[in-house]
Amino acid sequence: MAAQDGSEVAGMEAEVTQKVPEVPCEAAGQEDAARTEQASLTDGESTSAQPAAVSNGEENGTGAKLKEKIHTLTGLPPAMQKVMYKGLLPEDKTLREIKVTNGAKIMVVGSTINDVLAVNTPKEVIQQEVKAEENKKEPLCRQKQHRKVLDKGKPEDVMPSIKGAKERLPTVPLSGMYNKSGGKVRLTFKLEQDQLWIGTKERTEKIPMGSIKNVVTEPIEGHEDYHMMAFQLGPTEASQYWVYWVPTQFVDAIKDTVLGKWQYF
């Protein structure tokens, strides 16, 4: 710990618990951004198991200096630390006044800037990152997992497409499409309930639109008037629900509706 005279405190240990404070966010499961680590506030030179004595000069170091030392060890900015030693640690008092003893343990709660940004990243940033990653890959419609569905050809009851057109969502469900297993699927947009209903022969899943992290689309090669589309239902690509043969005129309306750009009728 750097004191006011430039000296350091040796032999003081601290248990540092680092966790993300409560911040507004939309994605479910964001508490996973919290992490715990322990660090010893020592001078990094002594290897003795016995704590060293605290000199008079070192005892004159303040709580603010202690926060600076914690910053060097954990990456927690001083302004984002809550330091506790027999209560909340005052920054303007010296270690002598606080009665920090040799070998004392101090609790620190706080977050790094990266932790806070990670759990509060806007949807727009996530979408840009996903799009950039997609540009590095081969076209989706050429990938094996999608080819096995696309090679079946258009469903017999596929909805008509209008290339180059943009239309509002119809009042009836979008039907005549396949999911990744090759089964028939329909999409129903319940705007009054803020839900997307994904229906198959077996069941209908009712998904809150606010829980959908991203929408990925790509024209189908050779049939550019139709798209393949994925709804990301969780934090990773493994949670994507794929739908094939979406008429191109509805693609923008679907993305705008799901990602929060409401249409007014």
pLDDT in tens, 137-174: 677 888 888 999 999 999 999 999 998 899 998 889 99
Residues 6+ apart with CB under 8 A from 219: 141, 226, 227, 248
**Which range scores top for mean pLDDT: 22-31, 72-81, 159-168, 255-264?**
159-168
CATH code for the part of the protein at 63-119: 3.10.20.90
- Closest to 21 (Cα-Cα) out of 9, 33, 7, 29: 33
Q: Which pLDDT score, from 0 to 100, does residue 8 have?
A: 42
- Closest to 2 (Cα-Cα) out of 76, 93, 68: 68
Separation of alpha carbons 246 and 250, rounded Å: 7
pLDDT (tens digit per residue) in 78-137: 888 888 888 888 888 887 888 877 777 888 887 776 776 666 556 666 666 666 665 556
Separation of alpha carbons 50 and 24, rounded Å: 45
Tokens 């090759």 identify what position? 182
CATH code for the part of the protein at 140-259: 2.30.29.30
pLDDT at 45 over 50: no
Q: Which pLDDT score, from 0 to 100, does residue 33 have?
A: 36
Domains 63-119 and 140-259 share a fold: no
Q: Which pLDDT score, from 0 to 100, does residue 154 have?
A: 93
Give the model's confidence band at 10: pLDDT under 50 very low, under 70 low, under 90 confident, else very high.
very low
Give the model's confidence band at 23: pLDDT under 50 very low, under 70 low, under 90 confident, else very high.
very low
Residue 121 tokens read as: 């990243």
DSSP codes joined into one string, the chain? ---TTS----S--BEEEE-PPP----STTGGGG-----B--S-S----SSPPPPPHHHHT-BHHHHHHHHHHHH---GGGEEEESSSBPPSSSBHHHHTPPTT---EEEE--HHHHHHHS--HHHHHHHHHHHHHTSPPGGGSHHHHHHHTT-S-TTPPP--TT---PPPSS-EEEEEETTS-EEEEEEEGGGTEEEEE-SS-EEEEEGGG--EEEEEEETTEEEEEEEEEE-SSSGGGEEEEEEEEGGGHHHHHHHHTT-----
Separation of alpha carbons 102 and 96, rounded Å: 11
pLDDT at 77 over 50: yes
- Closest to 169 (Cα-Cα) out of 87, 92, 246, 90: 246
Domain boundaries, the chain: 63-119, 140-259
- Closest to 105 (Cα-Cα) out of 233, 15, 188, 217: 15
Judge whether 188 and 199 are in contact, CB under 8 Å: yes
Q: Which pLDDT score, from 0 to 100, does residue 116 have?
A: 65
Give the model's confidence band at 43: pLDDT under 50 very low, under 70 low, under 90 confident, else very high.
very low
Give the model's confidence band at 29: pLDDT under 50 very low, under 70 low, under 90 confident, else very high.
very low
pLDDT (tens digit per residue) in 192-227: 899 999 999 999 999 998 899 999 999 999 999 999
* Percentage of the chain exceeding pLDDT 70: 67
Q: Which pLDDT score, from 0 to 100, does residue 64 have?
A: 85
